[in-house]
């Protein structure tokens, strides 16, 4: 086994009395696509928030490339190479699509612009580069958020329901893009409710229920796991 890129150990976070994430441990190896699934409210988004520093964890450790990152500020975590999208879209509405991408880059603006335009072309938004992101459709905003993450060239990408609201044709492009990122050596952790997407894309799936990790394994095995079936349909 190669050294994990991301290592989560005993991560917990509760809101009031609710344990949103409950002693979760998992490890991600470089160059793979992972799925994170679970019923509504099972803690998937909270897990993302804790890893990226958006929420402060209550307990547990997070290591990235062997280095502790829990407790760091979100921007410091992002700069180490973790990019993410949000379940509830967070584009910068009064910046144009192009500016949304340019603003997050380092280095020269001119170099960044060529790359930004290429990415926007890839998600078929080349006609809308100067449109305010807030004026784009829901699906288009998701795509802007997705390519914005790529501008910083992160080695780990956390995607929180990237397919929601994106039309079928673009969805296929998006999934293809995720595979290509993996082929480039990136690691992707994907939250997705559409089981077809998860089963077709992910090599390993983690299942959360009430904040606890109840299963981990290849999609086929997970689908037949009794605890998983119970979590989804049982109660």
Partner 1 sequence: MRPRTAFRVGLVLLVAALAAYPAVGTGYGVRAMLQIFMWVALAASWNLISGLTGYVSFGHVAFFGAGAYTGAILITSAGWSWPAAALAGGLGACVVALVIGYPCLRLKGPYFAIAMLGLNEVLRALVSYFEGLTGGGNGISLPTLEATVPVYYAMGVAAAAVTLLAYLVITSRFGLRLMTIREDEVAAEAMGIDTARHKLYAFLLSAAGPGIVGALAARDQGYIEPISVFPLATTITMIVMVLFGGKGTVWGPVLGAVVLFVSQELVWARFPYLHQLLFGSIIVAVVLLMPRGVLGLLQQKYHLPRTI
Ligand X SMILES: Nc1ncnc2c1ncn2[C@@H]1O[C@H](COP(=O)(O)OP(=O)(O)OP(=O)(O)O)[C@@H](O)[C@H]1O
Contact between 5 and 154 (Cβ < 8 Å):
no
3-state helix, strand, coil in the chain (%, to 5): 40, 25, 35
Identity of the residue, 112 or 161, whose beta carbon is nearer to ligand X in the bound complex: 161
When binding is defined by CB under 6 A, the residue of 1, 2, 17, 40 that contacts ligand X is 40
- Min dist. Cβ of residue 35 to ligand X (A): 13
* Continuous H helices in the chain: 44-52, 74-79, 97-102, 109-122, 138-151, 168-183, 195-201, 219-224, 226-229
Q: Does 59 bind ligand X (CB under 6 A)?
A: no
Beta bridge partners of 67: 64
Residue closest to Mg ion (Cβ) = 45
Identity of the residue, 42 or 96, whose beta carbon is nearer to Mg ion in the bound complex: 42
CA distance linking residue 94 with residue 125, whole number of Å:
17
When binding is defined by CB under 6 A, the residue of 5, 6, 20, 69 that contacts ligand X is 20
Judged by the rule CB under 8 A, the positions of this chain that interact with partner 1 are 52-54, 73-76, 78-79, 83-84, 86, 90-95, 99, 102-105, 109, 130, 132, 148-149, 152
Identity of the residue, 34 or 123, whose beta carbon is nearer to ligand X in the bound complex: 34
Identity of the residue, 45 or 85, whose beta carbon is nearer to Mg ion in the bound complex: 45
Identity of the residue, 128 or 211, whose beta carbon is nearer to Mg ion in the bound complex: 211
Q: At what angle do helices 109-122 and 138-151 cross, to 10 degrees?
A: 140
- The SS3 assignment for 92 reads coil
In the complex, the residues that contact Mg ion under the rule CB under 5 A are 44-45, 87
In the complex, the residues that contact ligand X under the rule CB under 6 A are 15, 18, 20, 38, 40-46, 87
């Amino acid at each position: 086994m190669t050294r994990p890129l991301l290592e989560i150990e005993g991560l917990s976070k509760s809101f009031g009395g609710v344990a949103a994430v409950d002693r979760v441990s998992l490890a991600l190896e470089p160059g793979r696509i992972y799925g994170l699934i679970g019923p509504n409210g099972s803690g998937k988004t909270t897990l993302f928030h804790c890893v990226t520093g958006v929420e402060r964890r209550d307990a547990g450790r997070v290591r990235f490339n062997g280095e502790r990152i829990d407790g760091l500020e979100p921007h410091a975590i992002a700069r180490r190479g973790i990019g993410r999208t949000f379940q509830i879209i967070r584009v910068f509405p009064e910046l144009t699509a192009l500016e949304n991408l340019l603003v997050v880059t380092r280095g020269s603006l001119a170099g960044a612009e060529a790359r930004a335009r290429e990415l926007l072309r890839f998600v078929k938004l080349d006609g809308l580069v100067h449109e305010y992101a807030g004026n784009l459709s829901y699906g288009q905003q998701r795509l802007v958020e997705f390519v914005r993450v790529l501008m910083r060239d992160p080695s780990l990408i956390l995607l929180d329901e990237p397919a929601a609201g994106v039309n079928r044709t673009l969805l296929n492009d998006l999934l293809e893009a995720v595979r290509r990122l993996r082929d480039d050596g990136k690691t992707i952790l994907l939250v997705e409710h559409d089981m077809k997407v998860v089963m077709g894309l992910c090599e390993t799936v983690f299942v959360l229920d009430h904040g606890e990790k109840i299963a981990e394994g290849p999609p086929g095995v997970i689908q037949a796991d009794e605890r998983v079936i119970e979590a989804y349909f049982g109660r």
